[in-house]
Amino acid sequence: MADKKRIKIVVTVVIVLVIFFFLGRSLYQNIQDLTQKGDTFRMHWPSLLLAMVLLAVYFGLQSLRWRKIVVMTGDRMRPTDGVKVWFCSQLAKYIPGKVMTVVGRVYLANRYGVTKTRATVAMILEIGLLIITGVMLFIASVPFRQESSGWTIWMFLLIPAGLVAVHPWVVNQVVSRGMRLLKKEAVNIPLTSWQMARLIVYYLIQWQVYGLSYYFLLRGLDVDTGNFLVLTSTFAAAWVAGYVAFIFPSGLGVREGVAAGLLTPMIGPAMAVVVPLMGRLLWTVMEAGGALLFRSAVLSVPTRKSDKLTVALVAACPFPGNRGTPSRILRMAEALADRGHKVHVVTYHYGTDTPVRGVTVHRIPNVGGVNFASGPSYKKLLIFDPMLTWLLRRVVFKHKVDIIHAHHFEGALVAHLARGFHSIPVIYDAHTTLAGELHDYRFPMPRFLKSYFARRFDRTVPAASDHVIAVSETLKEILVDNTIPPEKIDVVPTGVNLDAFDHGRADIIANKYGLRSDKVVVYTGSTAAFQGVHHILEAAPGVVAQEPEATIFIVGDDPGEKMAALAQEKGVADNVIITGERPFTEVAHFLAIAKVAIIPRTECPGIPQKLSNYMAARKAVACFEGSAKLLEHEVNGLIVENGNAQQMADAIVRLLRDDMLARRLGEAARESLIGKYDWPSLAAKTEAIYDGLVGGPKDE
């Protein structure tokens, strides 16, 4: 196999070298003829360099437009991958018969997961649009040509014919018939007339860039450029003629002959030969250079050899941790590992002592600055995250990672920087929006800048990722409103290990805090401002007034001074216990003693992890409507109007007094998780998303 690859490489190099030899010899002979005849021949190198730059821009535009057509046909491909595939496939043009270019492009695109059918259709559309727009451009230039005659005006009738040919209905009919002839499944291209019109305009503009490169080539050879439209259409027509000359490698000779014939009335016969040859030389240099530049990257794309993947989960946070993001990452990582995947978590240098099962954890060096609080900080952004980027890059290439699954905004930024220009897919796991949280983080930045960056990142981070996982339908709707295509987003809610809270011991908490009543209310999780913990203390007087023996636990990551002061102000300090940060292993004990668990957050695009925990622990939940994604009022919880402290107090008291209602709602809450929100089910759904991105070559 290795010998065959070497032979292919040698053959390709020999073909390119032979082409360069004949081009160079012909160019040298023509320049010598010009010199012998006494014609001046001067080169202006800045203009020639600009011609090369513009030709590179033309190639870049063409490769990106082909990739865009691939996306329009319904497949997925990163822009950088499209550029790599396009350049590498161009070498096949130097083999007689244009079919090798198509075969090569389809094969290489297939390595990136693009179906062969859609890759073929995209290339046929690209060629068709280039030919039609090239002909349209030439026809438009006819009245300005010296050699035009009256009958050539009739050529304008071809323009409407070309527009009809690219109508979406006609295109779909032609493609369907072609697929049937090839005994392939028909594919419908979901293009609108407006999209096709935009493609035509784009290719017409692209031809102008192509014409500009030849304009500066002529300037570089000290030749009069004449009418720009005539010049551009000349080389467009020559390209079309070379392409339809099927038996010649890359239209070699045909393109130059047509260009020389059309240029002769403009610049004379001698220079009319030199200019196309010089253009061909530059063209081949750019194509071959691009192909050699990207060849190793394209051929290094792994093909899927088994149904098990190596996955890197990016945790730009403490890991493990007692709040939503690190908890989701931990449970997802363990569930994926249980399905046989090799899972690597790349994270900060600190976390809680929660056991991590079946997962390899990679940490940045210990640089101090341990901070379990939610949200960004300058230390994280300027020290931790650059170190995390470097570590992730090492892990990705050392362990041959198939996919990077980045959680939250900082994780996604780290993932994109670490990936660079390589083709490893990045999934962005969206837990919430920055617009909904950044204002409440203790991050020193003017409010207007927070708003600006929140809006920007809410759009750009998901858009830059290969796929997005949202934790709720609400969050998916927000992302779609932010112009993220709905087909790019899947919903995988935050799950829970259903048995994680079955062994909690109420007596441990009762003895530790000297409780004498079973009327216990619990909140667990972050105490950041956006969590709305102050609503608990606003509702507490209403609870205590009706149930004086009630105890309200706030189990969170805040030392509690501010909340303690607020509890004192509300007159409920004797009934409220603020524990501060506690190990996750103790959460089960707090929930075991609780009759009621509460969610005080008024707005949450995602699904609070604490809500899943409460439901798994069979707790009766009182929740504000903005966070009640998994609840149905009176069925598996009580839902309260956002911010209404009295309603929250009444709901809590009702559950404290009605044991039968509390048990019924708690059991229903747990039942509603089974098969939907348990991690084995959610890991299977996540695995299916992975397969869609790196499932290897597709043959339909």
Q: pLDDT by residue (tens digit) across 169-193?
A: 777 777 777 666 666 666 666 667 7
* 256 has a pLDDT exceeding 90: no
- Which amino acid belongs to residue 275? V
Distance CA(389)–CA(394), nearest Å, equals 9
Question: Which residues does residue 638 pair with via DSSP β-bridges, in sequence order?
Answer: 622
Q: What percent of the chain has pLDDT over 70?
A: 79
Q: How far apart are CA 629 and CA 44, in angstroms?
A: 68
Q: What is the pLDDT of residue 151?
A: 47
Which pLDDT value is given to residue 392?
Answer: 94
What's the pLDDT score for residue 453?
75
595 has pLDDT over 80: yes
Cα–Cα distance, 353 to 333 (Å, whole number)? 16
Q: Do the beta carbons of residue 319 and residue 372 sit within 8 Å?
A: no
- pLDDT exceeds cutoff 90 at 642: yes
Tokens 């809590």, residue located: 652
Bridging pattern class, strands 489-491 and 403-407: unpaired
Q: Is the pLDDT of residue 396 over 80?
A: yes
The C-alpha atoms of residue 292 and residue 107 are separated, in whole angstroms, by 17
CA 224 to CA 218: how far, in whole Å? Answer: 7
Q: If you average pLDDT over each of 185-189, 616-620, 678-682, which comes out highest?
A: 616-620
Cis status, amide bond into 485, omega within 30 of 0: no
Q: Kindly state the average pLDDT of the residues 257-267.
A: 79
Please give the Cα distance from 111 to 91 (Å, whole number): 17
Q: Which amino acid is at 406?
A: A
In this prediction, residues 604-619 reach a mean pLDDT of 85
Confidence class for position 692, pLDDT limits 50, 70, 90: confident
pLDDT reading at 341 higher than 50: yes
Q: Which of 221-225, 322-326, 436-440, 679-683 has the highest mean pLDDT?
A: 679-683
pLDDT above 50: residue 277 = yes
Residue that the structure tokens 């960004």 belong to: 376
Task: Tell me if the pTM is above 0.75.
Answer: no
Is the pLDDT at 26 greater than 70? The verdict is no
Inter-axis angle of helices 193-220 and 45-72, nearest 10: 170
In the prediction, which pLDDT does 272 show?
73
Mean pLDDT to the nearest integer, 478-483: 85
Query: How many residues appear in the chain?
Result: 700
Q: Give dist(CA 533, CA 608) in Å, integer.
A: 14
Residue that is written with structure tokens 């290990």 in the block: 497
Q: What is the pLDDT of residue 668?
A: 94
Peptide bond into 168 cis (omega under 30): no
Q: Of the candidates 98, 414, 58, which has an alpha carbon nearest to the alpha carbon of residue 207? A: 58
At residue 302, does pLDDT exceed 60?
A: no
Q: Which residue has the higher pLDDT, 266 or 700?
A: 266
Is residue 505 within 8 Å of 592, Cβ to Cβ? yes
pLDDT of 107 higher than 50: yes
Cα–Cα distance between 587 and 97 in angstroms, integer? 70
Which pairing describes strands 596-599 and 520-524: parallel, antiparallel, or unpaired?
parallel
* Token output for 472: 């709720």
Rounded to an integer, the average pLDDT of 101-127 is 78
Is there a contact between 151 and 106 (Cβ–Cβ < 8 Å)? no
Choice between 422 and 258, residue whose per-residue pLDDT is larger: 258
Between 30 and 419, the higher pLDDT residue: 419
Q: Which residues contact 353 (CB under 8 A, 6 or more apart)?
A: 583
- The count of C-alpha atoms lying within 13 angstroms of the C-alpha of 633, restricted to the half-sphere facing its C-beta, is 8
pLDDT of residue 700: 47
Lowest mean pLDDT among 291-305, 519-533, 595-609, 611-625: 291-305
In this predicted structure, the answer to whether residue 534 has a pLDDT above a threshold of 80 is yes
The yes-or-no verdict on residue 546 having pLDDT over 50 is yes
Over pLDDT 90: what percentage of the chain? Answer: 22
Find where tokens 């929930």 sit. 591
Average of per-residue pLDDT across 122-141: 85
Per-residue pLDDT, averaged over 539-559, amounts to 88
pLDDT at 356 > cutoff 60:
yes
Please report which confidence band the pLDDT of residue 649 belongs to, taking 50, 70 and 90 as the band edges.
Answer: very high
Better pLDDT: 163 or 83: 83
> Could you report the per-residue pLDDT of 205-241, keeping only the tens digit for each?
999 999 899 889 888 887 777 788 888 888 888 888 8
**Residue 363 pLDDT:** 95
Could you tell me the CA-to-CA distances from 281 to 16, 28, 55, 235, 357 in Å, in that order?
A: 11, 12, 12, 14, 60
Helices (H) and strands (E) in the chain, counts: 25, 13
Looking at residue 41, its pLDDT comes to 54
- Quote the pLDDT of residue 250: 47
Residue 615 pLDDT exceeds 80: yes
Residue 83 is given by DSSP the state H
**Whole-angstrom distance, CA of residue 576 vs CA of residue 586:** 18
Return the C-alpha torsion angle 614, 619, 624, 626, nearest 10.
40
- What is the pLDDT, as a whole number, of residue 89? 78
Using an 8 Å Cβ cutoff, are 109 and 119 in contact?
yes
* pLDDT on residue 184: 64
In the chain, the amino acid numbered 82 is: G
Question: Token pair 């299916």 is at which residue?
Answer: 688
Instruction: Identify the band that residue 106 occupies on the pLDDT scale cut at 50, 70 and 90.
Output: confident
pLDDT at 454: 74
CA distance 293 to 130: 25
Confidence of residue 655 (pLDDT cuts 50, 70, 90): very high
pLDDT(48) > 60: yes
Whole-number mean pLDDT of the chain?
80
d(CA 636, CA 496): 16
Please state which of the ranges 316-325, 506-515, 658-667 shows the lowest mean pLDDT: 316-325
Q: How far is residue 65's CA from residue 79's CA, in Å, rounded to a whole number? A: 9
pLDDT tens digits, 558-576? 655 778 888 888 899 899 9
What is the per-residue pLDDT for 44? 79
User: Judging by DSSP bridges, how do beta strands 576-578 and 551-555 pair with one another?
Assistant: parallel
pLDDT at residue 122 in the model: 84
Q: Give the separation between CA 590 and CA 554, rounded to whole angstroms.
A: 10
Quick one: pLDDT at residue 92? 64
Of 89-98, 190-199, 281-290, 348-357, the range with the lowest mean pLDDT is: 89-98
Inter-residue contact 225 to 215 (CB < 8 Å): yes
Distance CA 304, CA 451 (A): 42
Lowest mean pLDDT among 237-251, 347-361, 567-581, 607-621: 237-251
Q: Which residues in 161-309 belong to E strands, given as ranges? A: none
Contact assessment for residue 21 and residue 169, using Cβ atoms and an 8 Å cutoff = no
CA angle centred on 295, ends 426 and 72, rounded to 5°: 50
Residues 228 and 215: beta-carbon distance below 8 Å = yes
Radius of gyration (C-alpha) of the chain in whole angstroms: 33
pLDDT tens for each residue of 412-468: 999 988 887 676 889 999 887 776 666 556 666 677 777 777 788 788 888 888 899
Q: What pLDDT, on a 0 to 100 scale, did the predictor assign at position 248?
A: 47
680, 338 contact by CB (below 8 A): yes
Instruction: Indicate left, alpha or beta for 696 from its phi (over 0: left) and psi (-120 to 50: alpha).
Output: left
